[in-house]
Amino acid sequence: MKSILSALAITTALIMPAIAQAKTVTLNVNMARYGGNGAYLAFYLTDANGAYAGSLWMAGGRAKYYRHLSDWVRLTGGNPAEVAGITGASIGSGQGGYLSLTIADALFDAGYTLHIDAAAEDMRESPNEIAVPLTSAGAGKPVQGSRYIADFTYSF
């Protein structure tokens, strides 16, 4: 994964109502050694009611594989426009990476959940691989994945 700052126009328009009231957040993912091809990952938010609130980033740039990110697809209808301009390379077994982006302060401690769906070619899908409340207190605390992700953290 490469570092992406505020060049994420869709994310910025979606979740950043005022630049002065936002945090630069680093999302750090370490992949388990699952022995397969690079994983596609969908990073997205849901609100306190579980309704889709927006996509943050997609690891894996070929839209034909997005259908394997089943919870993300269910919430978005699989619409590639949800991640237009905010995609990067898939992430391989045993690899890690980070992503920096700007998220509105109003989303922290307000009931939002950050989700990561994962899938790898010729392997099982892992919807909702990570689901972590977006809270100030949760920053820097590792969350273990269920299949492809060894651990995930977000920090300010």
pLDDT in tens, the chain (156 residues): 433 322 333 344 454 454 559 999 999 999 999 999 999 999 999 999 999 999 999 999 899 999 999 999 999 999 999 999 899 999 999 999 999 999 999 999 999 999 999 999 999 999 999 999 999 999 999 999 999 999 999 999
Is 4 inside a domain boundary?
no
Residue type present at position 144: Q
Per-residue pLDDT, 5? 29
Is 55 inside a domain boundary?
yes
Separation CA 24–CA 4 (nearest Å): 11
Number of domains, the chain: 1
Look up the CATH number of the domain holding residue 107.
Answer: 2.60.40
Per-residue pLDDT, 85? 87
Count, in order, helices (H) and strands (E) of the chain: 2, 9
Separation CA 90–CA 2 (nearest Å): 11
Is 59 inside a domain boundary?
yes
Angle at 107 between CA 151 and CA 47, to 5 degrees: 80
Per-residue pLDDT, 20? 57
Separation CA 107–CA 15 (nearest Å): 8
The CA-atom distances, in angstroms, between 137 and each of 21, 53, 67, 154 are 18, 21, 33, 11
Is 107 inside a domain boundary?
yes
Is 2 inside a domain boundary?
no
Q: What pairs with residue 120 in β-bridges?
A: 39
Domain of 94 in residue numbering reads as 9-155
